């Protein structure tokens, strides 16, 4: 039987994970045109305006603000909602770590709540339980191919007079109950970071349908007539051709993830987030990461060793985020519910980076071949790990942020 690469066998994907950004002649055209026409260094060349208009139309929102990062867009969103010192913002204990810091950046206090057992995304029941007299907003992130039930969340938030920041940084173009991710919240956030589905190396956007929120966002963004933390014309120009391909690429990725779900059906110790709560007919998930609920005991190998072995086979797997309550001082947050599922996500989340999903279904299904090879040799991999010492944890080559 073939040995796993981590024990000296041949890797399933000797070429390693595919590169990101992927090769795209339209990107080369933009770069050559920018140089030839000389607009690459200009303040104004019309591309930011075109990108804003495209995003408005695509999301059916009235106002779009381009900015330097998704992180900044979250902070700008909180400020535009009037979140201030002394206020509380509810978010999932298992979330993108920068969101905890953005809440602190505006002087507010994060309230940490549990995630759903089915897909480790924000739990609505936990949000309900966590509301206190100082609570002003909910920050809802759609993570790793899962998504928050926005229709129910918005209804509930309206009833209780709470604002909602919807973080769609991981799923541009996703549909949730017939509406684009990022267009449900009072404000929505996109990221154009270097590893993201729409990439300009850096960048972000804030979306809103509310004129008053938009006016406040504009005031924060334009200080003394000078824009704070802007996106450049060159960045916007590089994003436009990717926007045109977003739907087609999201569909391609989803088709491949569906093949993965099918191939992994009944696989012990490994379940995809999006298989835990399958999308309805008017949903379309998007995958910056494919989240995997990994059960080390059932699989027979620690998460670190599993990831190490799969990386050796040529697949870009990483550990998920760390739960905030495990890494932040208790003085910096309030615990709003039990955090047992978030604890499970902290220990058991594995993420597959998205570039593989644009390849053929046959290439994507090689992941399952590698996984079964690792499973069959789990005890030898475990024993080898003992000999060579601890596998380094949270080693993130090739898949950042
Ligand atoms: C990447 C990411 C962000 C931040 O985006 P940057 O552009 O890297 O600042 C925010 N939220 C989530 C869920 C993300 O994945």
What average pLDDT does the segment 279-303 reach? 95
pLDDT tens per residue across span 258-284 = 999 999 999 999 999 988 878 888 999
Ligand 1 centroid to residue 70 C-alpha, Å: 5
Q: Is 191 in the pocket of ligand 1 (CB under 6 A)?
A: yes
Gyration radius of the chain's alpha carbons: 21
What structural domains does the chain harbor?
25-242 (3.40.640.10), 246-389 (3.90.1150.10)
pLDDT tens per residue across span 7-49 = 999 999 999 999 999 999 999 999 999 999 999 999 999 999 9
Task: Report yes or no: 273 and 144 within 8 Å, Cβ to Cβ.
Answer: yes
pLDDT tens per residue across span 346-366 = 999 999 999 999 999 999 999
Q: Global pTM?
A: 0.95
pLDDT tens per residue across span 95-105 = 999 999 999 99
Task: State which ligand 1 atom lies nearest to the alpha carbon of 142.
Answer: 13
- Classify residue 10 as exposed, middle or buried by CB count within 10 Å of its CB (0-12, 13-18, 19+): exposed
Ligand 1 centroid to residue 98 C-alpha, Å: 7
Ligand 1 centroid to residue 141 C-alpha, Å: 10
Count of helix runs (H) and strand runs (E) in the chain: 15, 16
pLDDT tier at 391, thresholds 50, 70, 90: very low
pLDDT surpasses 50 at 200: yes
Q: Is 291 in the pocket of ligand 1 (CB under 6 A)?
A: no
Q: Is 170 in the pocket of ligand 1 (CB under 6 A)?
A: yes
Q: Is 199 in the pocket of ligand 1 (CB under 6 A)?
A: no
Task: State which ligand 1 atom lies nearest to the alpha carbon of 203.
Answer: 7
Helix (H), strand (E) at residue 247: helix 233-263
Q: Is 256 in the pocket of ligand 1 (CB under 6 A)?
A: no
Q: Is 302 in the pocket of ligand 1 (CB under 6 A)?
A: no
What average pLDDT does the segment 168-179 reach? 97
What average pLDDT does the segment 317-323 reach? 98
Tokens at 5, concatenated: 């690469």
Phi, psi (rounded to 5 degrees) for 339: -125, 30
Q: Is 250 in the pocket of ligand 1 (CB under 6 A)?
A: no
Beta strands at 187-191 and 204-208: parallel, antiparallel or unpaired: antiparallel
Residue partners of 285: CB distance under 8 A and separation at least 6: 145, 146, 147, 171, 174, 254, 257, 274, 279
Q: Name the residue of 141, 196, 322, 396 to mutate for ligand 1: max ligand atoms within 8 A of Cβ.
A: 196
Ligand 1 centroid to residue 169 C-alpha, Å: 5
pLDDT of residue 385: 76
Q: Is 98 in the pocket of ligand 1 (CB under 6 A)?
A: yes
pLDDT tier at 224, thresholds 50, 70, 90: low
């Amino acid at each position: 039987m073939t040995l796993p690469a981590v024990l000296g066998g041949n890797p399933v994907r000797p070429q390693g994970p595919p590169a990101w950004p992927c090769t795209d002649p339209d990107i080369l055209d933009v770069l050559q045109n920018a140089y030839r026409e000389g607009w690459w260094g200009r303040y104004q060349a019309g591309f930011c305006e075109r990108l804003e208009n495209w995003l408005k139309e695509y999301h059916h929102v009235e106002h779009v603000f381009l900015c330097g990062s998704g992180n900044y867009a979250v902070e700008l969103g909180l400020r535009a909602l009037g979140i201030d010192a002394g206020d509380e913002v509810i978010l999932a204990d298992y979330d993108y770590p920068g969101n905890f810091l953005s809440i602190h950046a505006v002087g507010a206090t994060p309230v940490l709540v549990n995630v759903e057992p089915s897909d480790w995304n924000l739990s609505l029941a936990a949000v309900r339980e966590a509301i206190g007299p100082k609570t002003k907003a909910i920050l809802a992130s759609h993570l790793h191919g899962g998504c928050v039930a926005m229709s129910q969340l918005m209804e509930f938030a309206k009833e209780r007079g709470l604002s909602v920041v919807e973080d769609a940084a991981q799923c541009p173009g996703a549909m949730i109950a017939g509406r684009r991710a990022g267009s449900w919240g009072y404000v929505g956030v996109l990221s154009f970071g270097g590893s993201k589905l729409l990439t300009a190396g850096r960048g972000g956007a804030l979306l809103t349908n509310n004129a008053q929120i938009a006016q406040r966002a504009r005031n924060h963004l334009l200080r003394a007539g000078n824009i704070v933390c802007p996106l450049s014309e060159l960045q916007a120009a590089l994003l436009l051709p990717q926007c045109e391909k977003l739907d087609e690429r999201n569909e391609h990725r989803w088709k491949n993830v569906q093949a993965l779900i099918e191939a992994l059906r009944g696989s012990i110790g490994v379940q995809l987030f999006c298989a835990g709560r399958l999308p309805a007919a008017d949903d379309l998930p998007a995958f910056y990461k494919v989240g995997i609920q990994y059960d080390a005991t059932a699989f027979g190998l620690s998460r670190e060793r599993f990831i190490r072995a799969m990386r050796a086979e040529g697949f870009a797997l990483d550990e998920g985020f760390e739960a905030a309550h495990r890494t932040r001082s208790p003085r910096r947050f309030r615990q709003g519910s039990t955090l047992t599922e978030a604890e499970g996500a902290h220990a058991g989340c594995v993420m597959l980076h998205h570039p593989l999903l644009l390849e053929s279904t046959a290439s994507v299904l090689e992941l399952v071949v590698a996984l079964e090879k690792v499973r069959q040799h789990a005890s030898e991999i475990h024993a080898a790990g003992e000999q060579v010492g601890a596998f380094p944890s949270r080693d993130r080559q090739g898949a950042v942020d």
